[in-house]
Amino acid sequence: MKKLKSNIYFKIGIIIFLILVLMIPTSMVENLIHEREQVQSSAIDEVSSKWGKGQTISGPFISIPFDKYVNKYNKKDSVNEIIKIKQWAHFLPEKLNISGIIQPEKRNRGIYEVVVYESKLKIEGNFDNIDFKNLDIDKKDVHFDKATLNIGINDLKGIEKQVSIKWNNQNISFNSGTSTKEIISSGINAVVPIANDSMQTYLFSTEIDLKGSQYLYFTPVGKTTDVRIKSNWTTPSFTGTYLPDDRTVTDDGFDSKWNILHLNRNYPQEWVGSKYNIDISTFGTDLLLPVDNYKKSYRVARYAILFLALTFLTFFFVEIMRKVFIHPIQYLLVGMAIIVFYVLLLSFSEHITFNFAYIIASILTLSLVSLYTMAILKSKQIGFLIFGILFIMYSFIFTIIQLEDYALLIGSSGMFIILCIVMYYSRKIDWYNINLDEKESLSN
């Protein structure tokens, strides 16, 4: 048993085994991070469901029903019958201009912050040449008196007051719901007068006061679509199929402009039925909170095996060079201290900034491991050595987390330097004739 305790290869095997065992609580920490992130998402969803969810404005577009006659074989009488079915033709505007102001604010649900907003949107434009000839539809089969103007809105409880549209100098109130689900499933509609004359031009304008949370998106349904959004929010994320042609982000907020042509999207100006999906062309703004503690905590946790390996490697070289014996239980306790570091980091980062949380958790962990090392090895010099090595390692990981775009470059360079240091200090060790001297052991 004594020979086994001082056998260097047995010690290496024990260290590798402990690292593998400690990966189990590490995976539990990663699951905890994911769980806390889900709790945050639930808090955001709860507030959003009461205030108004993320909003997408789809439209406006005109939907007009018409009768279509098709042949149907009657098996009972063995004859062909002509039956009439109702279908919808959809027309998009020639020009669409949207301008708006977003006024966001932060709401709290427990320890979590949620971004909600109130917006004032002005939508105007025109429809030209609503012509059924391109769709191969006879005008006599068209129900012009049932034409509706539809605007898609994701969450209707975000509408703050009655919405009406100015349609060729005529004010018309909107109704809840859409006239057809072929393009959008949620929104508002207004019955608008459409003449039988295909050369008629229709001007429209409306204003919508809309509440929502997290984001505000639009669909470029106009042959030419111009969107301009202003806000006092300082951390926007412009996302979707199209980025702004012009954007300005300052400490006072942002101002963004989009100009999109019908040639930039993959659906036409008119069609029948539900053959096209306009949602694939949405674009807009996410109102991001500058908080990514869960993402960063998860990234730090992915380096757990590196933390454990380098820490145990440091203790292993201390054993070899100082001829001391460190018990596997003591390795295990140091490893558990490293695992607790991630829990401290996660819990602190939910209440303070991630960088400050990392500093506090690192200092606590480094102090604990260093003081423990001094106690078991009865050497302040080794304790300070361990503190310095761990300080460099934790600083290295912190740098990788901050420089996300250069993480691979910095990480690979750092690993190469560490390998060089290990090879340098181990170059004169005779691995075939090395044993830990139990007589000089300073611990059990």
3-state secondary structure the chain: CHHHHHEHHHHHHHHHHHHHHHHHHHHHHHHHHHHHHHHHHHHHHHHHHHHCCCEEEEEEEEEEEEEEEEEEEECCCCEEEEEEEEEEEEECCCEEEEEEEEEEEEEEECCEEEEEEEEEEEEEEEEECCCCHHHCCCHHHECHHHCEEEEEECCHHHECCCCEEEECCEEEECEECCCCCCCCCCEEEEECCCCCCCCCEEEEEEEEEEEEECEEEECCCCCEEEEEEEECCCCEEEEECCCCCEEEEECCEEEEEEEEEHHHCCCCCEEECCCCCHHHHCEEEEECCCCCHHHHHHHHHCCHHHHHHHHHHHHHHHHHHHCCCCCHHHHHHHHHHHHHHHHHHHHHHCCCCHHHHHHHHHHHHHHHHHHHHHHHHCCHHHHHHHHHHHHHHHHHHHHHHHCHHHHHHHHHHHHHHHHHHHHHHCCCCCHHHCECCHHHCCCC
pTM of the model: 0.76
Q: Which range among 41-45, 373-377, 420-424 has the greatest average pLDDT?
A: 373-377
Residue 405, pLDDT > 60, answer yes
Residue 401, pLDDT > 90, answer no
Reported as a single tens digit per residue, the pLDDT across 141-173 is 899 999 999 999 999 999 989 999 999 989 999
Reported as a single tens digit per residue, the pLDDT across 5-25 is 567 777 888 888 998 999 899
Give the Cα separation of 398 and 402 in Å (integer): 6
Across all residues in the chain, what is the average pLDDT? 86
> What is the CATH code for 53-287?
2.60.40
Position 443 scores a pLDDT of 40
Position 182 scores a pLDDT of 92
For the chain, give every domain's residue range: 2-40+294-440, 53-287
Position 174 scores a pLDDT of 95
Residue 270, pLDDT > 90, answer yes
Sheet holding 164-167, edge to edge: 170-173, 164-167, 201-213, 112-128, 95-109, 224-231, 253-261, 246-250
Position 74 scores a pLDDT of 67
Confidence of residue 444 (pLDDT cuts 50, 70, 90): very low
Percent of the chain with pLDDT over 90: 46
Higher per-residue pLDDT: 326 or 436 = 326
Confidence of residue 381 (pLDDT cuts 50, 70, 90): confident
